[in-house]
Amino acid sequence: MLRLNNILSFILILITSVTAVGQDKNKYCIYDQVAVEKYSNKELDEALAYIDTAINMCEDLSKDPYVYHIKGFICYELFKTKDQGDPYSPMRKEAFEAFLKSNELDVNKEFTDKNTLSLKNICIRIQKNIAQNLDTIHFEEAIKLDRIYHDAVERSGVNLDLKEHDITFNNMIGSIFVELYENSKTGRESYVDSAVHYYESALKIDTLGFDANKNLGYLYHNLSIDIILAMDPEDDILTMYENQERSSALGLKSLPYLKRAHEQQPKNKDVLYGLAGIYFMLQEKEKSDFYQKLYDDLTKEQKGNGMAPPNNDN
Amino acid sequence: MKRILQIALFILFSSAMAWGQGAAGDANLKVKGMFVYNFIKNIEWPSAQKTGDFKVTVLGDKDLYQMMNSNYAGKEINGQKLVFNYTDSFSEIGTAHVLYVAPEYSSDLAKNSSKLRKNKTLVVSDKGGLLYDGSVINFVVNNNKLAFEISKSNAELVPLTIGPALLKMATSVI
């Protein structure tokens, strides 16, 4: 009899324990609602703790796109407020992963639009961080962030034109290297190589791109002239010849780029000025005068017409 | 967002300018001046011309004169101090070791060449065909580079001895 009592007691304890565990699990399964409440009250750290616990402890919620959708917003707010938009904030990464996960689970497409818009906003913020670092001091940071941007756009599949971004970015980094070259006394060749690399990268995407053609044309043009202007006036005739040879080779290199830029924008005064200069440098006076005349005529025309009225594009 | 990049792009590119015809002109002048300086260093004048200042006159090209005057005036070559003059008339040349004749002023070269020869002047011209008008060295364009041709026979009439380096580098020697 005692034995039977013991067995019954054991079964009772077991049932009680199992029920308690079940109740605990149910408790976690409402943590998403607590998280939303905390989020509304701007208690973001608390909100994150609740939503993470909900995902980890409640099996049903761990497969719910809504929970990840909420987590994305909590993390994004933490990124903006607590981390003050730090481009390397782990919260940005977490927000990104949460929105992505939500989209992955969202078979009924209930949250996909909002998630995708949020992912796009995250990408745009990275792009903004890139733009903030586009100068001769922080450009390496911009290059690093550009890789993060690429990864984010590719993984999220948001509607952002990577090609257009790459063209602009490569042109800008190329011009930063040109500025570094112009401002430095040492290591100048490597800056030129880097500038050429970035401009050519832009041209690989769009061969007829005006900016890259103009920039690369300018670069070779200016290098051609720099060689001569840097010569020692007392150089012997052989050294002079060698320098002239190098200068003229660079001048010839600049021509196809400037011509292509001119084809794209025949009334661009900078390009006309560059063409007049490089033909002059290459001893082709007639061609130089031709472009100089176009430049002068355009200058007169613009002066005659006064300033262009503002447009309403913006 | 595109606007942010465009603004940054504008600021960045507005500083990136080509040198244009002005700087190319400066570079070409420098090359021309360096050539003339090298002619002086590589040519021997008769002994009577080896004393006093070494006079270089530029006819008709003020920019070249200014460039040469600022780079070389006062320098000594074989003990002679370089002195530069500018004129825009053949009649004002006087005696000079070297006369550079700008293209627009070369039409009167032929009729002045015997006088220049008498004054032991090395005539450097800058227009096609002028070796036949009494010039000793004439600037030409060769493969997009400034080069020069030499009239050895005109040099011998002065008489001037042209060094081997110049003869080697000349595009043609007649």
Tens of pLDDT along A209-259? 999 999 999 999 999 999 999 999 999 999 999 999 999 999 999 999 999
Percentage of chain A modeled with pLDDT above 70: 88
pLDDT at B20: 55
pLDDT tens-digit map of A126-161: 999 999 999 999 999 999 999 999 999 999 999 999
Average pLDDT over residues B88-100: 94
Q: Which of B144, B162, B168 to mutate to test the interface with A (most CBs of A within 10 A)?
A: B144
User: Which residue on chain B is closest to A227 by alpha carbon?
Assistant: B27
User: Which residue on chain A is closest to B3 by alpha carbon?
Assistant: A314
**Do residues A47 and A117 share a domain?**
yes
Task: Please say if the pLDDT value at position A11 is more than 90.
Answer: no
User: Which residue on chain B is closest to A287 by alpha carbon?
Assistant: B21
In angstroms, the separation between the Cα of residue B69 and the nearest Cα of chain A is 12
Mean residue pLDDT of chain A comes to 90
Task: Please say if the pLDDT value at position B16 is more than 70.
Answer: no
Compare CB distances from B27 to A175, A229, A245 and report the shortest one's residue: A229
Contacts of B146 in chain A (CB under 8 A): 244, 283
**Do residues A149 and A216 share a domain?**
no
The interface predicted TM-score (ipTM) is 0.88
Q: Check which CATH number belongs to the domain holding A97 and give it.
A: 1.25.40.10
Strands B172-173 vs B80-87: parallel, antiparallel or unpaired:
unpaired
Task: Please say if the pLDDT value at position A20 is more than 60.
Answer: no
Residue range of the domain that includes A36 = 26-160
Contact (CB, 8 A) for A121 and A164: no
Q: Is residue A4 part of a domain?
A: no
The 3-state DSSP class for residue B21 equals helix
Residues of B with CB under 8 A from a CB of A: 1-6, 8-9, 12-13, 15-28, 30-31, 33-35, 37-38, 42, 71-72, 141, 143-146, 165-166, 169
pLDDT tens-digit map of B24-52: 999 999 999 999 999 999 999 999 999 99
Show the domains of chain B with their CATH numbers: 28-173 (3.40.50)
User: Which residue on chain B is closest to A249 by alpha carbon?
Assistant: B144
Contact (CB, 8 A) for A65 and A103: yes
Q: Which residue among A130, A160, A190 closes a domain? A: A160
Q: What is the distance between the alpha carbons of residues A5 and B59, in angstroms, rounded to a whole number? A: 130
Q: Is residue A2 part of a domain?
A: no
Q: Secondary structure of chain B: what % helix, strand, coil (to 5)?
A: 50, 25, 30
CB–CB of B27 and A238 under 8 A? no
CB–CB of B35 and A314 under 8 A? no
Contacts of A273 in chain B (CB under 8 A): 17-18, 20-21
Q: Is residue A108 part of a domain?
A: yes
Domains: count for chain A:
2
